Amino acid sequence: TGGMYDHEMGGFFRYSTTADWTVPHFEKLCEDNSRLLRLYLQAYQVFGKDLYRETAEKTVGYMNDTLWDETEGYFCGSQDADEQYYDLPKEERLKRPALFVDRTAYANYNAAAAMAYYEAAVILKKPAYRRQADRVLNFLWSNLHEDGMGMFHYWDPDDGRRHVPGLLADQVWTAWALL
């Protein structure tokens, strides 16, 4: 219910610029939203509070509307920060051009998103989220994996190539998501 959550468009901001966590830095990352989505899904499962379910649903909505690349089947890395944009009510935001989205596909962030969507499919009873998670893992395996090298860190949509092999986080998150 605080300042780190975007109450208008859904999703979570990266971090706070104040000690009391009321004023966010307005950037939104796939990584943070994926992890917080899992947290809210699990909290809803344990405590049954509608607020947790609604927060999870709005976070999925944000991720699908802003970070999801339907054509390729992956989640983009982040959405830029713009304090003036986020000061506007939702109706005014929708009239303006959308903030820049980094279209880079990061292996570890997408694996985390796939895990969250698998959980969302079960907890929220939405089978489409499972299919979406399947697409993410298929994208990662097809575009960021190389036999003998493992996972690469990111896929650049501008050059259509994978970059930076062998980072432990990419190997672990992908293996965890596949399990």
Cβ(121)–Cβ(130) below 8 Å: yes
List pLDDT tens digits, range 124-172: 999 999 999 999 999 999 999 999 999 999 999 999 999 999 999 999 9
- The pLDDT of 5-18, averaged and rounded, is 91
Rounded CA separation 54/10 (Å) = 10
pLDDT at 4: 92
Radius of gyration of the chain (CA): 16
Cβ-based burial of 162 (10 A; exposed 0-12, middle 13-18, buried ≥19): buried
Q: What is the mean pLDDT of residues 93-106?
A: 93
Residue pair 118/130 in contact (Cβ under 8 Å)? The answer is yes
Specify the pLDDT at position 87.
Answer: 84
Q: What is the pTM of this model?
A: 0.94
Q: Residue 41 has what pLDDT?
A: 98
Q: 68 has which bridge partners?
A: 75
Region of poorest pLDDT, from 75-84, 90-99, 104-113 = 90-99
Phi-psi map region of 77: left, alpha, beta (phi>0 left; psi -120 to 50 alpha): alpha
